[in-house]
Structure 1
Amino acid sequence: MSHESPSRNGAFRPITPRRAVDEITAQIRERISSGEFRPGDRLPSQRDLAEQFQVSRNTVREAIASLEDIGLVTVTRGATGGAFVSLGTSSGIVTSLSDLFSIGVITPQNLREARAIVGKAAAELAAERATDLDIALLQDIVDRASAYAAKGDIAQRSEANFRFHIELARISGNPILEYLTDAVIHINRKIAARYEAPPNDIVIPFRRRLMTLIKQKRSAEAGMEMVNFLDSLANYYQTAPLLTDAARETHNSYREADKEET
Structure 2
Amino acid sequence: MARTRADLPVWRAGRTESTAMRVEKQIKEAVLDGKLLPGDFLGSENDLAEQFQVSRLPIREAMGRLQALGVVDVRTGAGGGTRIANGNDAPVVEALAIQLKLMGVGSAEVFDAQVTIEASAAEMAAKLATSDDIAHMRACLAQVEELVSDQEAFTPEKLTNASLAFHQSIVDAAHNQFLSSIMKAISYVLYRSVNPYTTTAVGKRLVQRHRKLLAAIMAKDSALARQLVTEHVAKVRAKHGAAAKSPVAGN
2:99 alignment partner in structure 1:
99
Q: 2:131 aligned with 1:132, yes or no?
A: yes
User: How much does 1:235 deviate?
Assistant: 1.7
Q: Are the counterparts in 2 of residues 138 and 167 from structure 1 also a CA contact under 8 Å?
A: yes
| 1:154-233 pair list within 5 angstroms | 154=155, 155-193=157-195, 195-198=196-199, 199-233=202-236
2:241 alignment partner in structure 1:
238
| 1:78-89 pair list within 5 angstroms | 82-89=82-89
What is the SS of the residue equivalent to 1:142?
Answer: helix
User: How much does 1:54 deviate?
Assistant: 3.2
Distance between the aligned counterparts of 2:20 and 2:247, measured in 1?
44
2:149 alignment partner in structure 1:
150
User: How much does 1:209 deviate?
Assistant: 0.4
Aligned residues: 239
The 1:232–1:46 alpha-carbon spacing in structure 2 relative to 1, beyond 3 Å, is farther
User: How much does 1:177 deviate?
Assistant: 0.8
2:73 alignment partner in structure 1:
75
| 1:250-261 pair list within 5 angstroms | none
Instruction: Could you tell me which runs of 5 or more consecutive residues in structure 2 were left unpaired when the two chains were aligned.
Output: none
User: Which amino acid in structure 2 is aligned with residue 225 of structure 1?
Assistant: L
Decide which moves more: 33-42 or 123-132.
Answer: 33-42
Q: Are the counterparts in 2 of residues 90 and 183 from structure 1 also a CA contact under 8 Å?
A: no
User: How many percent identity over aligned positions?
Assistant: 23
TM-score relative to the length of structure 1? 0.79
User: How much does 1:95 deviate?
Assistant: 1.7
What is the SS of the residue equivalent to 2:83?
Answer: strand
Q: Are the counterparts in 2 of residues 115 and 184 from structure 1 also a CA contact under 8 Å?
A: yes
What is the SS of the residue equivalent to 1:173?
Answer: coil
2:122 alignment partner in structure 1:
123
Q: Are the counterparts in 2 of residues 118 and 181 from structure 1 also a CA contact under 8 Å?
A: yes
Distance between the aligned counterparts of 2:241 and 2:28, measured in 1?
43
1:2-42 Cα offsets, whole Å, 9 max, x none, are 74642436642344594223211221122223322113333
User: How much does 1:218 deviate?
Assistant: 0.6
User: How much does 1:117 deviate?
Assistant: 0.3
Question: Which structure has the greater CA radius of gyration?
Answer: 2
Distance between the aligned counterparts of 1:60 and 1:217, measured in 2?
52
